Amino acid sequence: METHWKTPIRLSSCVPTFLVALTLSIVTAYPAEIVTLRHEAACILRRVANHMGIVLRRDVPTPEVRYSSTTPLSEFQSAVEAVSPMRPRAVCNSYFAGRNLIMLTDDATYYQGGRTLDDSLAHEYTHFIQDRYGGGAGRDDEESKEREAAQVQSWFRKTFMSEHHPSVGDHLGACGVSERPPVTPP
């Protein structure tokens, strides 16, 4: 397995600069602590789509989700270099529209101060919906898209990541939501 160097980087090397800087831990002889989703990825996507007023279609493939602990850094770098002149030194949360791929860091040091892997996936799913369904605000304005994704991420965190929410830890696919997805008129 390829070494994943974890040197200090700015999150802005992967996403817009108005986001908070990220400092990853320095590599030690021990592997980093890994976090996992508390909700099924399919449930997160359905919740985000419902919140955005989008009906998911079977003919639109859901993006593959890959994690830093199981994805070689060189693979992430290749995906970034295909759309940007950057060569990041660590995997950071990203949606690659051309590859229909989401890559997330699952290093626990990133998820402090209330952030979770689940709400990060909600953020990237927002970009997927903006891209594949034309949903959301500011369809042509990247800053508006990023702002909306951050708002959806915050909404998801507050709504579904409380330890008291009945669906936390629900891995049975029920999603723990009572609202129905929007129905497209015939």
Domain segments of the chain: what residues?
Answer: 11-23+34-160
Average pLDDT over residues 160-174: 56
pLDDT higher than 70, residue 24? no
pLDDT higher than 90, residue 75? yes
Tens of pLDDT, residues 100-132: 999 999 999 999 888 999 999 999 999 999 999
Q: Is the dihedral of CA 98, 51, 163, 38 positive or negative?
A: negative
Lowest-confidence segment of 8-12, 70-74, 130-134 by average pLDDT: 8-12
Average pLDDT over residues 136-162: 85
- Give, in words, the CATH class of 11-23+34-160: alpha beta
The pLDDT score that the predictor gives to residue 36 is: 95
pLDDT band at 163 (very low <50, low <70, confident <90, very high): low
Percentage, residues of the chain above pLDDT 90: 55
Q: How many CA atoms lie within 13 A of 123 on its CB side?
A: 20
The pLDDT score that the predictor gives to residue 167 is: 52
Give, as one character, the DSSP assignment of residue 163: T
pLDDT band at 30 (very low <50, low <70, confident <90, very high): very low
CB of 43 closer than 8 Å to CB of 65: no
Q: What is the pTM of this model?
A: 0.75
Q: Inter-axis angle of helices 41-52 and 142-160, to 10 degrees?
A: 120
Average pLDDT over residues 171-182: 45
Rounded Cα gap, residues 56 and 125, in angstroms: 12
Which residue do the tokens 């976090």 mark? 35
Average pLDDT over residues 165-185: 46
**How many angstroms separate the first and last alpha carbons of the chain?**
51
